Structure 1
Amino acid sequence: MTSLSDLPIRDDLRGQEPYGAPQLDVPVALNTNENPYPPSERLVKAIGEAAAGVAAGLNRYPDRDATALREDLAAFLNADTPGAGLTVRHVWAANGSNEIIQQILQAFGGPGRTALGFEPSYSMHPIITRVTATTWVNAHRDADFGIDPDGAVAAIEEHRPDVVFLTSPNNPTGTALPPQVIEAVLAAAPGMVVVDEAYAEFRREGTPSALTLLPGNPRLIVTRTMSKAFAMAGTRLGYLAADPAVIDALLLVRLPYHLSAVTQAVARAAVAHGDELLATVELLRRERDDLVAWLRREGLTVADSDANFVLFGTFPDRRRVWQGLLDRGVLIREVGPPEWLRVSVGTPEEMAAFRTALKEIL
């Protein structure tokens, strides 16, 4: 049989492994940062009606620019961050935030260009960077997983990247960035600055969104997703807010009709029921803070988290701990620095199972 090595793929892709967390059938899955609370029967009905409403027209292409959905998302972001003043011209949507990131790199990266990030961070940033033939530079985070603004500026001045990635709250550490760091990066960066806010809805009270910095910063892009707080991971809908000129740039690289009519309809139904979907956020915040306190009482080191997951350690052999949990029916994630593990925040019952299993291993 022909193997991958026999095919004439790009040299820079040889030896690479596909991205993806393990998909295992376990009683307690806490490894992909999903919202554990499914849609209510009322929302399931609304989504079904929305899909049925477009089904009769599936022989036609969908709205190529997803205008109505973008209007809904702009309204949601304006409510989330009063004063943002966003319109449909400031918002773009795609199949998950990963396609958003890919489109940004297709427009502003590419051969001969550089993207810079601060690892440990979202592992898809360097992966998509390399796939788009853009050079990746890791500027590293501090020991507490924060970013020193002076160090960030020095790295930017040294490498002059075309795209800078900031993640707040950061995955896998949960760390949120103060606005001063983002402002320092914006002032120093010669190209685009992308603030990945996939977990923004989980941030603690008083932690501002980078959306507040959009006015007057046409090179700033703030990305969001409906996969986490919105509990719509299966919808595959990511979006961004930026200056209208950025949207014009992304139109040059987006595939025609990239968002299906069904995706647009389902996402609009979810946004319309946003209050219901986001009602679980406060539950998950409290569960997260309780988990952090419990892990620390158990003598473990835990990163401060503004997300719906917690990074904890340190373990000389983290694989043994990960496997021990899996043997007890609990799946978490081996990700981040070598001696650390990440657990998503689940329901109270799921977190009780995690605590019981971890105590047995410890």
Structure 2
Amino acid sequence: MDAALLRSLTPRVLAILVRRGADFATAEDAVQDALVEALRVWPSDPPREPLAWLVTVARRRWLDAVRSDEARRRREDLIDAEPEPGPAPPADDTLALYFLCAHPSLTPSSAVALTLRAVGGLTTRQIAQAYLVPEATMAQRISRAKRTVSGVRLDRAGDVGTVLRVLYLVFNEGHSGDVDLAAEAIRLTRALSSSIDHPEVRGLLALMVLHHARRAARTAPDGSRVPLAEQDRSRWDTAAIAEGVAILQAALARDRLGEFQAQAAIAALHADAPRAEETDWPQIVEWYDELVRLTDSPVVRLNRAVAVGEADGPRAGLAALAELDDSLPRHTAVAAYLHERDGDPVTAARLYAEAAHAASDRAERVHLTRQAARLNSRA
């Protein structure tokens, strides 16, 4: 049994049913029933046309559900007038499904969960494990999301930017349970890239691939975070870096710059440096200037302050930081780093300790605590 094949076909089957008039919630349940039946039947009797087989079985399950609902008898009569489907059409409706699962009426957490279930083909248990919540909680979240989008038609154009933000949220969750969400996000973004010709989709894919290439060096054996400048670059995946750069270059050649392309360009400059000391910080500052122009994000301005501190010296970085709200996440940690670079270890140690106390992420908290302890021990 090819589990990867089933997962790749799941969103296509669901999209076909919804396109033919099924409401999303009932169609998704029917597709799951069809997958269970495939797991039972295919090992001994594999179909010649797997997609057509799944569409036929899922449609029958959907009809059974409709027939059991007395309030939908009029709709049942219309459905029964349709001919039984033959082989599925070659058109792939998966792109529309991406838009549906990232519908603006959904909260970001619900959009992520629904994308992983409907487009990614993950089970509710797998998604719950990845997000460290009880399975019942995740089941309720997915059920609410399905009900929310059940009345939305698939014939309306969706917002690519919203889809990309949902996929990036998935990517940043990393790895938990038995599902590697970063790898899953890359897989889904590759599939989206094959369905739509859009430079920002390529930009996000490049960004993910470039970040993922550094993954092995990002965490110490004890689970603590290793800063970029201290990472063992021999552990970076050079083949993935080359792929990410190639994807980015093709996207930038379209001359339709977006925020994910700009972020990928920054990641590529980091990946291109054999040593941290050889990083092209002036060019990184230029890309952050582009990002500020595109997003005007306070977080981008915070990261730009770090880059300015590297390119033009810590005093310049502190001046850029002073223009920002000090309640921003990581503001205190950035200030600590720049003060240390400026030769003020006492202030830096105090700020590292403050940042560690406020950090919600364990790995980040451990790293900042160690930075404070390192400077205090020298004093």
Give TM-score scaled by structure 2 length. 0.22
Q: Highest relative contact order (Cα 8 Å, sep 6+), 1 or 2?
A: 1
Name whichever structure is richer in helix by fraction. Answer: 2
Which structure has the larger Rg?
2
